[in-house]
Structure 1
Amino acid sequence: MMLNRMSRLLTLSVVLAWAPVALADDALWALLKQGGQVVMIRHALTTSGVGDPEGMKLDDCATQRNLSDEGRAHARQLGEAFRQRGVAVGQLLSSPWCRSIETAKLAFGKTPDVTPALGNLFGRSEEAGRQLAGLRPLAGQKPVTGNTVMVSHGSTIYALTGISPDTAEMVVLTPQGGGRFKVAGRMAAHKL
């Protein structure tokens, strides 16, 4: 009797602990379906390591850390989550790093517009002021159609929002104009 009751309480606590997360994700997907949001996505999973190898060149993907096979699968799952929910992508922007461009292409099936404002700030903190000055207006501008999707890096998203996302995780922003925005929430769409 006591074991049965403990089992039911444990089951109930698991359900109640999971429910707010699911509801939060559902609310974010509903917001995205309405359009008008800015979605910042950290590139998908890469080969192991931190930062880029010595001598990295932006115009040579072979010199950079790139997506792993698992990362490519996550990028595709991310795009599929958008398609299954009928979430429109208007403008698609990316960091100039190959791992961000590839994430955008695999997820959304088109080549993104590349902007240095979304570039990696890891190990490049001296670039933060200039990049954020270019990034804030993009994050604060309401999309003309659908949602603006920006694929970047954890360090860059953190510098703008104070949130350190996991790979292929989304941080949803509601533009307020004038370079201002509110964080609507975050979720890892590739895990759905």
Structure 2
Amino acid sequence: MSALRSLVITLMLLLLATQVHAQHEAEAWQALREGKAVLMLRHALAPGTGDPSHFTLGDCSTQRNLNDRGRQQAAAWNPFLARHGINQARVYTSQWCRSRDTATEMDVGAVTEWPALNSFFQNRNQSSAQTRETIDQVNALKPGLPVVLVSHQVNITALTGVFPASNEGVILALPLSDKPEVLISVVPD
């Protein structure tokens, strides 16, 4: 009988944890819809690490770019966001082609380049200044549509401490600070 009792208690705790997680997730999405949070995501899959030595901003042929899977991942954001009540957003992106292409493929709004979201993988000494600029630019935004930021792993990690996979995002509570509150991590299904 004690084994059955342990199983029942374990199942009840699991159910409770699942309900708490679902409520927390729902609150994060509501905060994003209401302008009390932003979604910051790493660009979709662009195989490799860093950038080629001949990298030139504005010349996609010199950069790592999204592959077919990466384009599919980026496009998956549109229906995923729609299921969470977001059909349009203000989208800000790094100037790197893989980030711009991710932002464009998401197809949820006009895409605006923000140099503060550019990768500093090759120039780590830019980390603090760019992170501060990102925080200041986000906090200066006027109320309006939900905000989506498309950037790079190093930028997201510097701001949040989270090491996102390609195409993974985090919903961050506003206002942003030096240690922003990560509400949830998200990946389109």
Given the two structures, how large is their TM-score scaled by the length of structure 1? Answer: 0.81
Does 1:71 pair with 2:80?
Answer: no
Distance in 2 (CA, whole Å) between partners of 1:77 and 1:5 is 43
Map 1:14-25; keep pairs closer than 5 Å.
18-25=18-25
Map 1:64-103; keep pairs closer than 5 Å.
64-87=63-86, 89-103=88-102
Shift of 1:182: 3.7
Which of 126-135 and 148-157 deviates more?
126-135
Kept after mapping to 2: 8 A contact 1:38/1:172:
yes
Give the match for residue 26 of structure 2.
26
Distance in 2 (CA, whole Å) between partners of 1:16 and 1:36 is 27
Per-residue Cα deviation, 1:22-54 (whole angstroms, up to 9, x for no partner): 44322222222323422211111112x111122
What are the ranges of 5 or more consecutive residues in structure 1 without an aligned counterpart? none
AA aligned to 1:159 is A
Kept after mapping to 2: 8 A contact 1:58/1:97:
yes
Map 1:28-43; keep pairs closer than 5 Å.
28-43=28-43
Kept after mapping to 2: 8 A contact 1:89/1:148:
no
Q: How big is the alpha-carbon RMSD for the aligned residues of Structure 1 and Structure 2? A: 2.8
Distance in 1 (CA, whole Å) between partners of 2:45 and 2:18 is 25
Per-residue Cα deviation, 1:136-166 (whole angstroms, up to 9, x for no partner): 2123345420222110001001111222222
Aligned residues: 189
* Distance change >3 Å, CA 34–CA 136, structure 1 → 2: closer
Per-residue Cα deviation, 1:72-95 (whole angstroms, up to 9, x for no partner): 111111121112222254421100
Kept after mapping to 1: 8 A contact 2:94/2:117:
yes
Kept after mapping to 1: 8 A contact 2:93/2:100:
yes
SS at match of 2:44: coil
Shift of 1:97: 0.5
What are the ranges of 5 or more consecutive residues in structure 2 without an aligned counterpart? none
Give the match for residue 125 of structure 1.
124
AA aligned to 2:55 is M
Kept after mapping to 1: 8 A contact 2:88/2:109:
no
Distance in 2 (CA, whole Å) between partners of 1:9 and 1:34 is 37
AA aligned to 1:152 is S
Which of 141-150 and 35-44 deviates more?
141-150
Shift of 1:187: 2.3
Shift of 1:102: 0.7
* Distance change >3 Å, CA 182–CA 37, structure 1 → 2: same
Kept after mapping to 2: 8 A contact 1:36/1:144:
no
Kept after mapping to 2: 8 A contact 1:36/1:146:
no
Shift of 1:112: 1.2
Distance in 2 (CA, whole Å) between partners of 1:119 and 1:170 is 16
